[in-house]
Structure formats: structure tokens, C-alpha cells
Amino acid sequence: MSSLIVAENLSFAYSNNRPVLNHLNFNIESGQLLGLLGENGAGKTTLFNIIKGVRNDYLGNLRRGFSPAELISLPQVINLSGTLKNYEVFELICCFNNISARQANKSLRARWSDEFFSRYEKIRSRRTYAISYGEKRWLLISLMLGLCDRARLIILDEPTVGIDIQYRMLIWQLIDRVVAEGRTVFFSTHIFDELTRREIPFLMLSRNGITRHADINAFMAHGNARTPDEAFLNEVMTGRDHGLSQR
């Protein structure tokens, strides 16, 4: 695998000089599914924004192996006009991707299962205010991933937060599909169960740096913890790891 992102001594502080990111060193490979853990305020969204190019006021080096057109990102907070019908959301995303509805349907047929189409048909003519937060988030993620033909990097900030288990399973089905196509998915989460069941490698962001862990079991062993929650709290409270260490 080739490196899609390489960070060297990456640091960031706000104008009050409060450090958020401290000398981070890590790399993300092409075609990799990688998680990001960290307490609230640890700098996960800031790191995403730096990778996306939204923030450039950082110190250190960041090498990107992708162009802006090859990046897809979904933030944790989604704001959609409640007057839009869901098929109009589909049309807007087609417009943003500069593809026709016919091209989009071809891409969706290649990635969506029958279950996706069935759920979409039930809500396509409803306005966005008339569907739940979970349905709205599922719809956006499903459309963005289903139409990701040009993407090399996909950043998802808490993709399954507030979503019930059925929709979560469908989202992970689609994530697996796009990763199998060779795309990189970098996502943040607080749902340890997803990491436990799927043995996903992840980065742990704490006050003193970032550590890489092969899976949740390696994370627990690293902190001599019996549960993921205990390992997470140990890491957050001690902040003992500096830089990047491979586990």
C-alpha cells in the first residue's frame, strides 16, 4: 500500500495558545479502513479539518496523496432545509458531483443492496423534516458513499451516532464495499462495539500525541485494561504516550 496521508510533527494551537494537537506523527495508507478515537475536545474535528485543507494554520508537515476533488467528507452535524424532499437531496448531491441522475443510478445499483433501495423508496417523496435524524443521516451517508466514484479519501465524523442498529449495519455494509474498491475511509467514533466486532485498526488521539493500535484487543493490552472503556479512560487520563507508536 502507498501512503495517502503522512503527518510529521503536526501541531496546532488556537489563538489563545492552547495546544490542541501536539507533534503528531502518523500515516494513512491507500485502501485502508481506519478509526479515530479521542475524548471530546481532543482535536478530532480539528485534525479532520487540517487533512481536508479547511485549516492551514498548523505547524509541521502534512503530505496529501489526493486532490480536493478526490475527497468526500461528512461532518457530525448535518443541516438540511426541512422543505426539501429526499429525492431533491439526491438531485443536489448529483449536482455537487457533476453527474446525471442516470449516471448516479448506475453507481447506486453497483453499491446499494435491495434493502437500500427499499428503504429509500419509502422516504424519497417525504420532506426531510418528516424523517428521523437517523434516517436523514443514513440517507446522506448512503448517497455520498454510493456516489463516491471519484473519491480516494472518505472522512466520516461519527457516521453512526444516533442511528439504530439496522441502519448502522447497512452503513457498515456500504463502507466495506467502498473500502474493497480501494478507497480509504477515515472515521471517528465513540462506539467501541463497532471496533470490537470488526477488528478495525485505529488511532487514539490524546493530550500528548497519537498512538496507533492494530485493533481494540491490542488497545486493551497496551493499557493493561480489561475493557475498552477502561483502556480509553486510562489513555485519556494519563496521556502518557508521546508521538506515534505502533501497537
DSSP state of 246: B
Q: What is the pairing mode between strands 33-37 and 19-29?
A: unpaired
Q: How far, in Å, CA of 5 to CA of 7, rounded?
A: 7
Helical ranges in the chain per DSSP H: 44-52, 86-96, 101-111, 114-123, 133-146, 165-180, 192-198, 216-222, 228-238
pLDDT (0 to 100) of residue 18:
77
Query: What domains can be seen in the chain, in order of their start residue?
Result: 1-65+191-247 (3.40.50)
Q: How far, in Å, CA of 124 to CA of 236, rounded?
A: 43
The H or E element containing residue 154 is strand 153-157
For residue 224, give Cα distances in angstroms to 1, 41, 60, 214, 217: 31, 25, 32, 15, 10
| Phi, then psi, of 171 in degrees rounded to 5 | -60, -45
Question: Which residue type occupies 198?
Answer: R
pLDDT (0 to 100) of residue 239:
58
Closest CA to 187 of 38, 26, 19, 23: 38
Instruction: Report pTM.
Output: 0.91
User: Which residues of the chain have a pLDDT value below 50?
Assistant: 240-247
